[in-house]
Chain A
Amino acid sequence: MKHQSHTTNPTEIKRINRSDVDLSVGDKRESFTVHKLEIENLEISKGLPVLAIALSGFTEERLSLGTADKLVLPVTGDLSALDPIKPLQFRIIIFDPDTKVIVASCEGITARNDTDEAESVPLLPVEQQKLGERLWRLCADQGVAPVLYVNDDPDLGMIKRLRLGDDPIVRALILPEAIQQALEHVAVSDSEEEWRSSWLTFIAELGQPFPDEFEEKDSSEISEWAMKVVDVWLMKNPFKRNILLCGVDNE
């Protein structure tokens, strides 16, 4: 049976563009920093309180960013009380202090790492976790953006190998499979979840369709589609060719 879903916004909450927010997390998930929040173009009353909320599983941490006309940035919040294993997501809300109604928000934000380029928005955030003998695992919990967990053993240096391209073989072995799994997660997730927008942009930029309705969310149909998207992405990111070129250069 086909189903159709749509997003409602009965209280007319204004959307803060993801690109107007710059938010980063420390390498060990100990703290987060809001560097930038551009809300001048939103037509909202001055003096409304602005909050950043960090969420992980059933835990959350709130951090005041000041008011809409007087933001106090950058500002750093503590994450030590949050569930360390569940995927970390953020929201920015601006609310009416009398009615407590949210007037503007940015939902489902995944943060870049402190060491990433400023204002970059990660499509697939990478976090270090205790994974035992596993090198990596895609965390794709219902309702939240997929996160690539890598083994936190410092001797492995997985973050460095993945992020800086120091190890093209590790990147080539992990990223296509991780992205494929993430795409499958996007396909079965609720269309109202805002974290999907960056993935939908990614898919569109590859010139690939995102089927509005997968027949009964058929898993083989979804896998086939995800594999095709990854194949197209690999044409722009030719891992094999790069590895071979590196090999030739090294000889």
Chain B
Amino acid sequence: MSELLSMRRLKDSGIEEFFEFINKKRVGESVPVPSHLITDLERSEDMYLDVKIDPEKIFSNRIEFGTYLWDKIRGDWNENLRVDGGLWTWLALVYFGQLCPPKKPSRPEHYILTVGKWRKACARDYSYRHSVLTPVRIIKDFNDHAEFFLSGTVDRPFTDMTEMGDAIEQVFSNQCVMRNKNLLDTVLSLYQDNLTKRVKKGSMSDPKIKLLKSGKWSQVGKGGARRLITRMIPRLQLTYNVSKILPNGLLKITGKEFSESKFINN
């Protein structure tokens, strides 16, 4: 085991340097990871929490990662930590080597938590994309569904920490769904594989209106999560108090696209 690190947070100047590094790296510049910021006394500061982490620890996926960090931090948890951009950005920097895809880094919001001044450039709240906070939040609040959100699809399970996964983008991003048990249970009943607990193949696909060579219309995305969450539920909300309807009842009123879709009992 390597030397343990006391939990720190990046100051604004440290976040700015990390941000510049990500952007340079994304356009192909050869720049070193600014690892010096992790312990830099000018651009980072101690959190004064009784928490130490192992910066060299290797995780096989984001479930293991989120579980490790949550175990470390749970004793000191308070809601202010959730919006502490400096802390989560510092953690993303510590484990950047494991979080960064092989070709180039993902967009900055995957490493820099978009809160406060770091939010203003974004039209939408992209904090759900954060590669450290989101696994921790899922382990903390949705531990029973961690495989669905953090371990990839049935046909392509994640084998490292470099990918976020579509369940985060399509489901976890929508707080109306995540904060409502009936809606979340409906989504899980349709799109979670019973055996592996991962995302069913094709359930998060973008719907396509495309005539195939066979003369039939493409079925991609039909009955999928994107259609359910962004099209069907908002429509039903005009007529029903959807959040009070149990999953079976909700499936009945969604119509055949969902109640008879290939994702039912599959």
Contact = CB atoms under 8 A, between A and B. Distances in A.
A16 to B, nearest CB: 14
A73 interface: no
A158 to B, nearest CB: 16
A135 interface: no
B179 to A, nearest CB: 8
Interface string A128-155: 0011100000000000000000000000
B125 A95 contact: no
A93 B174 CA distance: 21
Interface string A33-49: 00000000000000000
Interface stretch (A51-59, A179-187, A224-232): A51-59
Contact of A100 (B123, B173, B244): B244
A108 to B, nearest CB: 11
B245 A132 contact: no
B84 to A, nearest CB: 16
A86 B124 contact: yes
Interface string B216-249: 0000000000000000000000111111110001
B241 A93 contact: yes
Interface string B244-265: 1100010000000000000000
A244 interface: no
B205 to A, nearest CB: 20
Interface in B103-156: 117, 119-120, 122-125
A234 interface: no
A58 B176 contact: yes
B105 to A, nearest CB: 24
Nearest to A13: B239
A102 interface: yes
A221 interface: no
A86 B175 CA distance: 13
A102 B120 CA distance: 37
A107 B238 contact: yes
A101 B173 contact: no
A95 B241 contact: yes
Contacts of B243: 62
Interface of B: 117, 119-120, 122-125, 173-176, 179, 238-245, 249
Interface of A: 11, 13, 51, 57-60, 62, 81, 83-86, 93, 95, 97, 100-102, 105, 107, 130-132
